[in-house]
Amino acid sequence: MRSRVHLPAAVAPLALERLHSLVENRTVYALDGFELNVFETHHAAYRVALRLDGLALTTMLRGKKVMHLPGRPAFDYLPGESVVVDKNERMEIDFPEACHGQPTQCLAVVVAPDTIRHTVDLLNERYPRAEVHTPWALPPPDYAHLTNTPELTDTLSRLVAVSRTTDINKDVLAGFTLQELLVRLMQTQARQLIFHDYARYLTSHRFAAVVDYIKQHLAENLSIDKLSALACMSKATFFRVFKREFGLTPVEFIIRERLAEAKRLLRHPLASVAEVCLRAGFNNLSHFQALFKKYEGITPGAYRKQMVA
């Protein structure tokens, strides 16, 4: 369902004249519990005021925006990122690069409050997080600007696909996918809090101590026995709760951290691939090369050439 130059149903009547000239294409899919919108903006503009009439997960698909949210410095909003916007939160948006040949494209999933409440209550009742004082909840304002994880991106893609289908069961399928999207969103928030801001939580969250230990000992043999002991859990519980909380296993996290360190080291023109392999914590060169290509899409040698060219 595509309409041209229509005021989106999920946008309050702010800056109506400017919206009619800016939002040239809108695709909307209304399903049980949520509404999915794809917006395309074809003209450069600044400080366009918008409000959404429900809590929304917005994701940049193409182009660039500059977001101005209440009480926060302005920030660039780029593809691969998401922003959670509260109901009726006033946004002012710049579209500095939008044009007819390269429109800015953004996805907005506006979710019904009952759907959010049901999902969060179910998780807290049946699948509690590692720390009882940090129950499942959608991102607070300070952490509403997120870098998408591969899992969140994949779930968003599947939600768009199922919303577009003509399957008679699409509302049921979309409902399951929406619940997964909310879980992935909260896992993404948890990664941002603990993986990137772990020092702040060393005394209040057991997984922060685990992350700190991993980062400090990347080049060493990291024992799951040691990590689970740091978390004060059995190995089985540690694996299960870590994956539930963050959406990946401890082993996958270690691999991603080591690959990030390898990428940093490969930017040095004098470092050999074999040396980088060992310094990043991999003890087998062929295994390192295979993992690097799997996650990054190119070999370590090709990556280094790109970085030092």
**Domain range summary for the chain, segments of one domain joined by +:** 1-196, 199-309
Confidence of residue 65 (pLDDT cuts 50, 70, 90): very high
Same fold flag, 1-196 and 199-309: no
Give exposure, 4-32, as e/b (b: 16+ Cβ within 10 Å): eeeebebbeeebeebbeebbbbbbbbebe
Let me know: does 110 contact 35? Beta carbons within 8 Å: yes
**Dihedral angle of Cα 93, 94, 98, 104, to the nearest 10 degrees:** -30
Six-digit token pair at 216?
A: 């400090």
Report the C-alpha gap between 68 and 76 in whole angstroms: 9
Residue with tokens 């691999």: 255
Residue with tokens 């959670």: 84
Q: Where are the alpha helices (DSSP H) in the chain?
A: 16-22, 113-126, 150-164, 170-196, 206-216, 224-230, 235-246, 250-266, 273-279, 285-296, 300-308
pLDDT given at position 43 = 87
Task: List the CATH code of the domain at 199-309.
Answer: 1.10.10.60
Q: Give the pLDDT confidence of 125-165 residue by residue, as tens digits.
A: 999 999 988 899 987 766 689 999 999 999 999 999 999 99
Of 47-61, 137-151, 227-241, the least confident: 137-151
Task: Specify the amino acid at residue 31.
Answer: L
Beta bridge partners of 262: none
Confidence of residue 24 (pLDDT cuts 50, 70, 90): low
Task: Answer yes or no: is pLDDT of 302 > 70.
Answer: yes
Would you tell me which CATH number, out of the four given (3.90.25.10, 3.40.1210.10, 2.60.120.280, 2.40.110.10), belongs to the domain 1-196? 2.60.120.280
Closest by CA to 207, choosing from 190, 223, 220, 185, is: 190
Let me know: does 156 contact 162? Beta carbons within 8 Å: no
pTM of the model: 0.83
Report the C-alpha gap between 102 and 200 in whole angstroms: 41
Task: Specify the amino acid at residue 274.
Answer: A
What average pLDDT does the chain have?
A: 88
pLDDT given at position 100 = 84
Burial class of residue 278, CB neighbours in 10 A (0-12, 13-18, 19+): middle
pLDDT given at position 23 = 52
pLDDT given at position 53 = 81
